[in-house]
Structure 1
Amino acid sequence: MKGKSILAVALTLQMVAAYPVQAGASTAQTATTAILVNGEQSSLAKAPLLVQQRTYVSAEDASRILEGTWKQDATNGEMKLAKGTLKFELATGKVALNGKWLQDGQGAIVRDKQVYVPLRWMAEQAGHQITWNAEKKAVEIVMAGEESAFTLVDADKLTEQERAFIDSVKEQQGIHKQGDLYVIARGPSPNPGYGLQVTKVEQSLEQLFVYVKQTLPDPGKMYPQVISYPYLAAKVKLPPYTTISFLDAETKKPLFETEGNGSR
């Protein structure tokens, strides 16, 4: 144990000598900013810092918040994230992504022998959404891995209550919502040859766009002449503050030409 303690002290002295506190860190202020992850407050081992209007958190806190792994030696720190590995050169503030030094990267700073990293920039590199909630005075992060994909579902595999909801709305053209269940209903059609098809789903900041094509009967094919009610059922759990819009795949306008149809 004594040998390890001596080694730890030596390493600390070596690290302090290797990367003196950078200019930016000298103006750092302890921040009282709360960090919300998927709507829940994250507990931090170290208080965050505010440096030039940027929130920095300790590397260990960042690794926990962003679901990465952090390791460091006397001169460098390395954060492994789902979308790549960031290497921080602690003496110079340089940072590399997957071995390539970045011209516009935001480096780490050192204060009181503790390494801090820029939270927003780190979250963006990991593919997460990060915003400032003025009302709660908190930084909010929506983890990319927590977003549930827009998934079409088979009505037979839904609950009795969900199937009853589908039966109650499938004849009415529009987008109908109950919890995380969405029903895209085309409305009355002359025969079963008419249908609906999801062609693409796009995520853009705090919006989810679902493109739907209104398909037509196959030419030359005979269909029973009975009224049908084509519909699609899908599930999606939207992250906080994210809205969903359903667009016509051909016109790129709101599906069924009904403005605001994604909010019902």
Structure 2
Amino acid sequence: MIMINEVTKTFQDKKQFVTALKHVTFSVKKGETVGLLGENGAGKTTLLRTIATLLAPSEGTVTVAGFNTIADPNEIKKRIGVLFGGETGLYDRLTARENLEYFAMLYGLSKHETKVRINDLAKMFGMKDYLDRKVGKFSKGMRQKVAIARTLIHDPEIILFDEPTTGLDITSSNVFRQLVHQLKSEGKTIVFSSHIMEEVALLCDNVAMMHKGELVHHGNLEKLYQSESTRDLNYIFMSKLVRRDENYAS
């Protein structure tokens, strides 16, 4: 479903070049839920933006649903839903409903399909009470719910979330987790970044650990627990970094 092959991404910062991704290679199968783990600056958002066709790799290739991100970006955009942390993509002067209707129109949904999808998503996220209020006066949690609904309005087969529970209270975070379980049951392919180990442990089949632009580990969570003889994902992540640094030093 998603194939990332030897992807490197370099940015120019003033007169210096910064490498955000270094020869990253792994794949995501159809129906898998993969958690991207790593500290701030590890390259998680850059990788998600590259998968979403928003950034072109400096080296390597990314294919999504059989389409190359450089050659066929429009085909990929039809099949993915994307939400980046801190970027809701909503228009403050429009109501929540009007925002969702606008994005549904961009994806070519009919009026009937749009109405059904909005009603379903409003019920799922408990948004009916403020669906016809302007987004500009919403709390951060309310905006995030509408933004997640906007991401799912066209019923995409592949969903990319970047720090999706940032700014959400406990109740809203639980709603998001229930949503991921529902999407998994529908066979959706999900990749989401997080620094919350418990969230990844609860929701993901596989995990991809990143550090300073490099892939430290990728694989099945249960197999990882078995090989490390612990289910403490935070401990596993930190020990992976320590072992990596020791290997570089030797």
For the criterion TM > 0.5, the same-fold answer is no
Higher relative contact order (CA closer than 8 Å, sequence separation 6+): 2
Q: Give the TM-score, by structure 1 length.
A: 0.23
Structure-2-length-normalised TM-score:
0.24
Which is helix-richer, 1 or 2?
Answer: 2
Structure number having the greater strand percentage = 1
Q: Which of the pair has more CA radius of gyration?
A: 1
